[in-house]
Amino acid sequence: MKKKLTLGIVVAMLMILGICACGSPQVQSSSDAPSAQSDASAAASDQPINWSPDTDCSMCHATEHSSLTDAAYLLANGHSDMQCTECHTDTGTLTDVHSKVTASDTKGAKRLKKTEVAKETCLSCHEADYTPEATASVTALTDSEGTTVNPHDLPTTSPDHETILCADCHTMHSTDTVEESAQSTCLGCHHAGVYECGTCHD
């Protein structure tokens, strides 16, 4: 009888504790509670970055920024003491293309395609390098028939040659050599690998 009474008291106490526990206000664990910090971060990620010439480009363009100090990127590495906007001077277009960019877009930013580095910008430092005499002995542009073209003295018979920019051959943020980039630029029109006019389109 004593055992049954003791067992009954224990069961009753457990039931009372269970009821009290169910009726107690539930305290949300810190892991379930929304964090004010995460809310602030989410709100910040939707804010436009408000690009200006003083903006730190490396926030989004990390690959291009790291190329300035990477010896594998020969041309960029040679300009490591310069600011991005010293070459990328088209601030109007840059402002426009960044107008809808938010902080959440900073990862995986693509290279700029709607703006270009003007030839005049390059020549402000490299005018002496651009003369036909400076590249008279360069044989990088030798076609499949053995014809060699001076890259800084292209034939004026094609108006397309006037539209070629320095950066088309001297690709700054690339590990391609100047020779590789220049040949690729030429092959954009000279598909057959022949530079003489009239060989493709009579």
**Residue 197 placed within a domain:** no
47 within a domain of the structure (yes/no):
no
Q: Which residues pair with 142 in a beta bridge?
A: 148
How many folded domains does the chain comprise? Answer: 1
Task: Give a yes or no: residue 180 inside a domain.
Answer: yes
Is 173 contained in some domain? Answer: yes
Give the sign of the dihedral formed by CA 104, CA 106, CA 109, CA 112.
Answer: positive
Q: Indicate the SS3 state at residue 152.
A: coil
Nearest C-alpha neighbor of 149 from the set 165, 166, 161: 161
> Each residue's pLDDT tens digit in the chain (202 positions)?
544 545 455 455 555 545 444 444 444 444 444 555 555 555 556 777 788 999 999 988 889 999 999 999 999 999 999 999 999 999 999 999 888 888 777 666 777 777 899 999 999 999 999 999 999 999 999 999 999 999 999 988 888 999 999 999 999 999 999 999 999 999 999 988 898 877 666 5
Q: Is residue 98 part of a domain?
A: yes
- Residue at 183 is within a domain: yes
Could you list the residue range(s) of the whole structural domain that residue 60 is in? 56-187
The SS3 assignment for 154 reads: coil
Asked, for residue 139, whether it belongs to a domain, the answer is yes
For the stretch 175-192, pLDDT in tens is 999 999 999 999 999 988
Residue 100 located in a structural domain = yes
Determine the pLDDT at residue 21.
Answer: 46
Alpha helices in 50-118 (DSSP H): 62-67, 74-77, 84-87, 91-97
